[in-house]
Amino acid sequence: MTLFRIRNLCVDVPGRRLLHDLSTDIPQGTVTALIGPNGSGKSTLLKTLARQMNGSGSVIFEGRELSDWARQDFARRLAFLPQNMPPAEGMTVRELIALGRYPWHGALGRFGPGDHDAVAGAMLKCGVENFADRVVDSLSGGERQRSWLAMSVAQQAGTLLLDEPISALDISHQVEVLSLLRRMCHDQNRSAVIVLHDVNMAARFCDHVVALRGGRHVFEGTTTSLMQPDALGEIFGLQMQILTCADGTPVAFPT
């Protein structure tokens, strides 16, 4: 099943083309990593998929053209977490996470038991219960990132688009968050597209990889095919060495 069917996608800002004629398919029910060097267009692609930016060409999400989706239906099917989280003045973690229910209850609907359950579940999954009643802006970077992630989880969308969701997390929370995403995708047939910088993390937790370089599509495939010196060399322009751990997981590092 195809989650996103992207054909000839171009994204321009005045004076510059950010994505060049991009065509690829992102599969459903998997964790897809979006990798590439800085400025390669990863965030642009993610924002375009989330309808936060407009491009030319065609993007079909779950069988329907992106622009044909009604706002609320789209937000119920797809949650997007931007890279830079805005300040949430005076808001507690619990209140922030509850905002994730907006697509379901709308501006006026009742915040019902289902909504409460979703919020509680998201807090549990993301491990934010301990500071649920603290003000978001008073938290550490990692705690704040997990709170925002919990908001996206509470949205209960079938697809999560996350822009560097683990950039501020310690290693154990990185593993925890990525495992959570993996579980959610595999057990509940959801999908996630995440921008990641760490290829080893991508290799370990993701099923599918799309790589960009200079706004162009340079690689797509399984993590096994990614973890080859040639593929990594083409993406990052750097000689990489691949070792294999005892359990068979490949690990790449620059030579």
Partner 1 sequence: MNRNSTVSFAVPAATFALIIAVLVTELPPGRWPHLPFLPGRMVLDQIGFAFGTAPRIAIALVAGAVLGLSGAMLQAVLRNPIADPSTLGISSGAQLALVVATIFVPDLLVHGRWPIAMLGAACAAAIVFAIGPRRAFAPVTLVIAGMLVSLMSGAIATAITLSQGEYLLSLVIWSGGSLVQQDWSGVRSLGAVLVAGLAAALVLERPLRVLSIGVGGASGLGLNVAAIRFAVLAVAVVLAGAVSAELGLIGFVGLAAPTIARAIGFNSLRRNLLAAPLIGALVLSVCDSLVILLDARLGEMFPTGAVTGLLGGPLLIALLAKLQGSTPPGTENAEPAAARIRHPYRALLLIAALLLVGVVLLLLIGRLPSGWTVLDWEHFMSFLPMRLPRLIAAGAAGAALAIAGALLQRLTANPLASPEVLGVAGGASLGYGLAVFATAAPSALMLNGATVSGGIVALVLVAVFVSRRDMPPERILLAGIAVSAFASSVLAALMATGDPRAWRILGWLSGSSAAIGMTGAVTLAAVAASMWMAAAFAARWLAIMPLGAGVAGGLGVNIPRARLLLILIAGTATGVATIFVGPLSFVGLMAPHMASRAGFHGASQHLHATALIGTCLMVCADFGARMAGFPYELPLGLFASLIGAPWLMATLSRKTG
| Binding positions for partner 1, rule: CB under 8 A | 50-52, 71-72, 74-76, 79-82, 86-92, 95, 99-100, 102-103, 106-108, 135, 137-138, 155
Query: What is the number of other CB atoms lying within 10 angstroms of the CB of residue 214?
Result: 13
- The residue among 81 and 181 lying less far from partner 1, judged by its C-beta, is 81
Give the nearest distance from C-beta 133 to partner 1 in angstroms: 9
- The residue among 60 and 102 lying less far from partner 1, judged by its C-beta, is 102
Give the nearest distance from C-beta 84 to partner 1 in angstroms: 9
- The residue among 106 and 221 lying less far from partner 1, judged by its C-beta, is 106
- The residue among 81 and 227 lying less far from partner 1, judged by its C-beta, is 81
Give the nearest distance from C-beta 72 to partner 1 in angstroms: 5
Give the nearest distance from C-beta 86 to partner 1 in angstroms: 5
Give the nearest distance from C-beta 73 to partner 1 in angstroms: 8
- The residue among 107 and 171 lying less far from partner 1, judged by its C-beta, is 107
